[in-house]
Amino acid sequence: MDGELFPRDRTEVAPGAVLLPDWLDEQRQRELVAACREWARPPAGMRTVRTPGGGVMSAKVVGLGWQWRPYYFSKTADDGSPVKPFPPELGELARRATEDVFGRVPDDGLEYDMALLNFYDAKAHMGMHQDKDELSKAPVISLSLGDTCVFRFGNTESRSRPYTDLELHSGDLFVFGGPSRLAFHGVPRILPGTAPAWLGLTGRLNLTLRATGLTPPTGSGARGPGRPLRADSPTEESQ
């Protein structure tokens, strides 16, 4: 939202789960939105995810570095094109984010090699899930652009309470690692029309940066480590 009366504070929602409001300045947000528009273009552009159970995710997604497809990670997008590469500047952004949040870059599994871009229109949402398909336990870095959303951050045991609802605004950084790395979380709703006017975006973009821990395949379309994704992964549930 433009021009808040009081700056919002850094909030530790749970151990290892931290919100840094307004982490991205206006210029960086503009640049990221422009980049997201390019990443969303075909080939290997934004897609609708259909799950084997017949569900359809309401958020549209693009993968950079890796694309998830039912039961494996792939270097090949749904249209047969190579997945777009993971831009080194996003790796740099991930490093800066972990430093700003934790005061240091954790030493384990820091090869950030994947970005998952979600686009939410006014009606889109995302059910409670764990991000547990990555082999690395490096923190997940989440950046929000455009409309504010209600983000629900829960516990590691189940989708239900206790959880905390917070708003993620354009420019906010949310990082979850350590004891919160496998906490259930979701996006119950978008608050339409709340994007800053200067950004020129209708809807919400969320960019999560992740270290998959996957060995790069030697050829396109190669399977990941052969580990099936679980039924409660974000892309697996009916949205």
> In this complex, which beta carbon is closest to ligand AKG, that of residue 39 or of residue 151?
151
> In this complex, which beta carbon is closest to Fe ion, that of residue 91 or of residue 234?
234
Joined tokens for residue 225: 């480590």
Question: Residue 210, exposed/middle/buried by CB under 10 A (0-12, 13-18, 19+)?
Answer: buried
Site residues (CB under 5 A) for Fe ion, limited to 216-235: 234
Report what 74 binds from Fe ion, ligand AKG, none; CB cut-off 5-8 Å by kind: none
Site residues (CB under 5 A) for Fe ion, limited to 117-136: 131
Joined tokens for residue 217: 């395949």
Three-state DSSP class for residue 206:
strand
> In this complex, which beta carbon is closest to Fe ion, that of residue 146 or of residue 234?
234
Residues 181 and 152 sit within 8 Å (Cβ to Cβ): no
Three-state DSSP class for residue 125:
coil
Residue with the closest Cβ to ligand AKG? 206
Question: Is 131 within any annotated ligand binding site?
Answer: yes
Least separation in angstroms between CB 219 and ligand AKG: 27
Question: Residue 216, exposed/middle/buried by CB under 10 A (0-12, 13-18, 19+)?
Answer: exposed
Joined tokens for residue 70: 């039912």
Q: Does 133 bind ligand AKG (CB under 6 A)?
A: no
Distance CA 115, CA 145 (A): 15
Question: Is 169 within any annotated ligand binding site?
Answer: no
Count of residues binding ligand AKG (CB under 6 A)?
Answer: 12
Contacting residues toward ligand AKG, per CB under 6 A: 116, 118, 126, 131, 142, 151, 168, 185, 187, 206, 208, 234
